[in-house]
């Protein structure tokens, strides 16, 4: 049985977000289309602004943009 790929019939919206240890929303970036390096950098700036002098642990999966030179 062959399954044909079909185009999406709606516009994609992407969200990248950060929560604190209590589960509260700290920062987010919402964008039409896909998240890129610019949005990831924007999120990191928002996190840095929120936790100026505190230690922050960021957990990333293996998304390709997590390895971008600009983000490292």
Any domain includes 4: no
Any domain includes 43: yes
Any domain includes 32: yes
- Position 4 scores a pLDDT of 74
CA angle 10, 13, 18 (to 5 degrees): 155
User: What are the backbone dihedrals phi and psi of residue 38, each rounded to the nearest 5 degrees, phi first?
Assistant: -60, -40
Closest Cα partner for 21 from 42, 51, 45, 44? Answer: 51
Domain that holds residue 60: 13-67
**Number of structural domains, the chain?**
1
Any domain includes 6: no
Any domain includes 35: yes
Q: What is the mean pLDDT of each run of 10 residues along the chain (72 residues)?
A: 67 86 92 88 92 88 85 76
Any domain includes 24: yes
Any domain includes 23: yes
Any domain includes 50: yes
């Amino acid at each position: 049985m062959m399954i044909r790929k079909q185009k999406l019939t709606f516009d994609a919206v992407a969200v990248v977000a950060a929560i604190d240890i209590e589960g509260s929303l700290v920062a987010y970036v919402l964008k039409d289309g896909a998240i890129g390096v610019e949005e990831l950098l924007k999120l990191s700036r928002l996190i840095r602004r929120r936790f100026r002098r505190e230690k922050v642990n960021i957990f990333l999966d293996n998304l390709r943009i997590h390895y971008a030179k600009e983000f490292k």
